[in-house]
Amino acid sequence: TENANDIRTAINERKSFIIRTAFAVVIVILIFSIVLNRYFLKPIKNLVTYTKIIKDKSKKETNIERLKNRNDELGILSESLDDMTHELQKRIYNAENFSTDLVHEIRNPLASLKSASEILSETDDQAQRKKLINILNHDIQRIERLITDYSQMLKDEVALSKEKMKKINLKLIVKSVVDDFNNIYEAKRGIKIEFIDQAKIDEYLIFGIENRIEQIIANLLDNSISFSDDNQKILVKIDKDPSNKIILKIIDQGKGFKEKDTNKIFNRFYSNRPDSFGEHSGLGLNIVKNLVELHGGIINASNNANQKGANVEIIFPKT
């Protein structure tokens, strides 16, 4: 009886312990489930929702911004996904706009081709036929240039995504391109390109892609030469400002820009070149602007104060 009471007491205590333990386990599981749902499952669900919204091109709001502020792997993943999405959307937007512009630019020479070919089939006047044939050739070359340059831009964009930036000496690259142009145009047209190192230092270091920097300089010099008369001078100046940003200027003595054109010259297909330089498609300066911005730089164009000619300035960020 006393032993029986002890046994019953022990059994009750064990039952009570088991019940308390089970209750504690349930509480722990419940808390863990809430934490898991709030901090892991729900954010993952939000990411899945975000990807579906992107796929469906929906304008529905998501709280992706809140996820980006997390100081863990999910925060990093959210930020990377959001950055990648914005970059893809930007490229799609640019591609759509560019295609629209290209169609518009091709439509004009196509209309001219159609008109000239119709007149050509109806006239026997040899002088007029010769003139119409020249128009046909000019329009065909224009369309060919547009398509070729457009194709090259697409190839460049793919190549840029694969190329990595490294620390390079801008001064050496600029001098090399200037020397190449002097070898061609000093003898051909008497145009002298003078390189001036205003800070007088050995290295102007930037993070960049060497052949793309060469492309920037070459396109800008080509543009200056096309607006310059024979035997004129073009200045290429390199300097550093107090904040160690690198400033590159190309100054010519040509006709300059029309005042209203200075903000338009970097637009796609914009061209204000002389007729003698009609082999250009109007994409060169737009490519330059895109490449400069890829390197974190800023490019501006203006007319020279109190004298004729133009000034193109590029500011590269400090390394």
Q: Is 177 exposed, middle or buried (0-12, 13-18, 19+ CB in 10 A)?
A: buried
pLDDT (0 to 100) of residue 107:
81
Category of 302 on φ-ψ map: left (φ > 0), alpha (ψ -120 to 50) or beta: beta
The third-level CATH classification (topology) of the domain covering 73-162 is: Helix Hairpins (1.10.287)
pLDDT (0 to 100) of residue 218:
93
State yes or no: pLDDT of 94 exceeds 60: yes
Q: Convert the pLDDT of each residue in 164-178 to its tens digit.
A: 889 999 999 999 999
pLDDT (0 to 100) of residue 64:
62
Distance (Å, whole) CA 228 – CA 131: 29
Residue 250 pairs in a beta bridge with 236, 312
Residue 312 pairs in a beta bridge with 250, 301
CB 174 within 8 A of CB 131: no
CB atoms within 10 A of CB 246: 21
CB atoms within 10 A of CB 78: 23
Q: Convert the pLDDT of each residue in 17-41 to its tens digit.
A: 888 888 888 888 888 887 776 766 6
State yes or no: pLDDT of 313 exceeds 60: yes
Token reading at 239: 């300097």
CA-nearest of 140, 124, 133 to 278 is 140
Give the rounded percent of residues in the chain with a pLDDT score beyond 90: 25
Q: Convert the pLDDT of each residue in 191-212 to its tens digit.
A: 999 999 998 998 999 999 998 9
Q: Which residue's structure tokens are 């904040």?
A: 243
State yes or no: pLDDT of 225 exceeds 70: yes
Distance (Å, whole) CA 270 – CA 291: 17
Taking the complete model, does pTM exceed 0.75, yes or no? no
Domain ranges for the chain, please list them.
2-62, 73-162, 166-316
Helix (H, G, I), strand (E, B) or coil at 270: coil
Q: Between residues 246 and 143, which one has the greater pLDDT?
A: 246
State yes or no: pLDDT of 56 exceeds 70: no
State yes or no: pLDDT of 60 exceeds 60: no
pLDDT (0 to 100) of residue 58:
57
The third-level CATH classification (topology) of the domain covering 166-316 is: Heat Shock Protein 90 (3.30.565)
State yes or no: pLDDT of 186 exceeds 80: yes
Average pLDDT over residues 68-79: 71
According to DSSP, residue 277 is labeled: G
Q: Convert the pLDDT of each residue in 248-293 to its tens digit.
A: 999 998 888 776 667 788 887 776 655 544 455 667 788 889 889 8
Average pLDDT over residues 49-59: 67
Q: Convert the pLDDT of each residue in 237-250 to its tens digit.
A: 999 999 999 999 99
Sign of CA dihedral 31, 34, 36, 40: negative
Token reading at 45: 């669900």
Q: Between residues 199 and 96, which one has the greater pLDDT?
A: 199
Computed over every residue of the chain, the mean pLDDT equals 82
CB atoms within 10 A of CB 142: 20
pLDDT (0 to 100) of residue 61:
55
